[in-house]
A = this chain, B = another copy of it.
């Protein structure tokens, strides 16, 4: 039994090989693999046949070199533990692949790694960058702009800097809707659990939230600082708060900056000896939120659309900077209902 299949000799099959076999010139082969190119049906057929037989696949590096377009897109991520980010990464990479792009993972752990990743990506002549990282500040993003003049898109995060392309959910509106929900539920003492940095994305959310409360004649009673997005932090932050507050003055409802914190908060409530009536609302609609042990009411971001838009913008290379904010959707489960 021969081990080697007939197709793959050791040397790689090139367009010239195919040309020879098909009895045409290599340029005709090239045309066969370029859509929109002028080629006769007969030649096309022969080339495709020969290509099939030889197992030929165009070398994309060579193509990129002359076309000056690589179809490689860098995905800048910085918190590979954040499940929400991951959901985004997942969606982005799938959609990119589906459209023939190759996602290059730029995993950022420090400013140094950020810079070297950018440099490397630059040298690979990537066509664009999508920023998914949460702690990537506008300054860092701008740093990328300087290195290379390719389209950059900040996804899933807002930015005050008008010079940066943003595709994200309308945080103000989201906050507003959640405020309305809680107010209409009749809660009076309403709090907010904040994450790590006060950056634009969250501020807009908070602003909308405050505006909504205000419109119903309420004010934000309290802000709990949880720090870094981690279940543990939500857990601790709420416990800290509950331990230091008399039961009758406690918050009745709590809007958490994201689902992870909210779930931490729910865990805290559950682990307490006494039953504490507290409505909790999250943000992001991660998978765990739907789980029967949480039933977290939250706000769903239109992930697919966002990603779709982001990629489209990359593709057209539209340099007209616009901030696209799509509306998300409130997801009512049961955690926003007080258990009292």
Contacts and interface: CB of A to CB of B under 8 A. Distances in A.
Interface of A: 5, 8, 10, 57-62, 64-65, 70, 72, 75, 80-81, 83, 86-87, 89-90, 93-94, 97-98, 100, 102-107, 109, 113, 116-117, 119-125, 146, 149, 231-232, 235, 267, 271, 287-288, 291-293
A329 B97 CA distance: 37
A290 to B, nearest CB: 9
A65 B61 contact: yes
A130 B271 CA distance: 41
A125 B98 CA distance: 19
Contacts of A98: 113
A239 to B, nearest CB: 10
B107 A104 contact: no
Contacts of A75: 105
The 7 closest A-B pairs by CB, nearest first: A80-B90, A93-B107, A60-B123, A103-B105, A105-B105, A93-B105, A60-B124
Nearest to A90: B80
A33 to B, nearest CB: 11
A81 B271 CA distance: 26
17 contacts: A10-B149, A57-B119, A57-B122, A57-B123, A59-B65, A60-B123, A60-B125, A61-B64, A65-B65, A75-B105, A80-B89, A94-B113, A97-B107, A97-B113, A97-B117, A97-B120, A104-B104
A44 B267 CA distance: 61
A87 B206 CA distance: 31
A116 B58 CA distance: 14
Contacts of A5: 146
Contacts of A87: 80-81
Contacts of A10: 149
A232 B120 contact: no
A287 B264 CA distance: 14
B59 A123 contact: yes
